[in-house]
């Protein structure tokens, strides 16, 4: 699900201006094994203090529009680790009971520790209460599902999951990540999606039509819906 939130157009422009999404002349192999002629990459944003400050403001605005009652925001390791920490810190600082309540600053470990308390093996700062999970890019959702399973095993409640960008691809089982999570009664939201962004990037830049056609074919094979760039 994608909301028509008030800062959506600004956020989309932020994505395009900072080259988060674009086209490749030669394909890259994704973790899923698929060969893609387009990319969605939030790493440069997360490495720049000014840009991640802006990004977290967009995330907080999005979360506030959802009107969810939650206690902790955590990012999927390792793509959204910094995003989760900074967003949680900034959001908690703005709460009226910030000085009297124990807001947890949690981080999921990239690799599980072999020893220690079961919860400490997975997290630095164990999340409490209702949790919102942040992910940078959703393709098949395997990293997201891994964190969800870890939280569920520890009886931690998941209020919702939020992705910065959904690539709008079907999983190998033919389902979307949203369908998988709905079956588990977990809400999934995307702040942006590739089907809306790619046509804007194609129009703005001088992209070779042969590359555009390959991206269209990619969505014919893997996409939730078809992508029309050349029509």
Model confidence pLDDT, tens digit, residues 65-117? 999 899 999 999 888 999 999 999 999 999 999 999 999 999 987 776 666 66
- For residues 51 and 63, give the distance between their C-alpha atoms in angstroms, rounded to a whole number: 18
- pLDDT at position 32: 84
The answer, yes or no, to whether the previous bond of 30 is cis (omega within 30 of 0) is: no
- Domain layout of the chain by residue ranges: 29-222
Please, which residues bridge with residue 187 across strands?
160
Q: What is the topology classification, in CATH, of domain 29-222? A: Rossmann fold (3.40.50)
Residue with more model confidence, 1 or 209 = 209
146-193 pLDDT, tens per residue?
Answer: 999 988 888 889 999 999 999 999 999 999 999 999 999 999 999 999
What's CA 168's distance to the chain center, in Å? 12
């Amino acid at each position: 699900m994608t909301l028509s939130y008030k800062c959506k157009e600004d956020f989309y422009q932020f994505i395009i201006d900072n080259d988060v999404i674009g086209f490749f002349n030669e394909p890259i192999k994704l973790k899923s094994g698929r060969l893609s002629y387009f990319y969605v990459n939030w790493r440069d944003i997360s490495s720049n203090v000014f840009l991640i400050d802006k990004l977290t403001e967009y995330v907080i605005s999005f979360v506030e529009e959802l009107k969810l009652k939650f206690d902790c925001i955590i990012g999927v390791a390792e793509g959204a680790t910094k995003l989760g920490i900074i967003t949680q810190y900034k959001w908690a600082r703005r709460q009226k009971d910030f000085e009297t309540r124990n807001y947890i600053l949690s981080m999921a470990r990239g690799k599980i520790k072999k020893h220690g308390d079961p919860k400490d093996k997975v997290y630095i700062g164990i999340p409490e209460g209702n949790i919102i999970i942040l992910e940078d890019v959703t393709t098949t959702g395997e990293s997201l599902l891994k964190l969800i399973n870890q939280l569920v095993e520890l009886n931690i409640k998941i209020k919702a999951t939020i992705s910065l960008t959904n690539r709008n691809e079907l999983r190998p089982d033919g389902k979307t990540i949203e369908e998988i999570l709905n079956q588990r009664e977990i809400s999934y939201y995307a702040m942006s999606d590739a089907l809306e962004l790619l046509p804007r990037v194609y129009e703005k830049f001088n992209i070779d039509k042969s590359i555009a056609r390959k991206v269209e074919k990619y969505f014919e094979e893997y996409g939730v819906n078809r992508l029309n760039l050349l029509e």
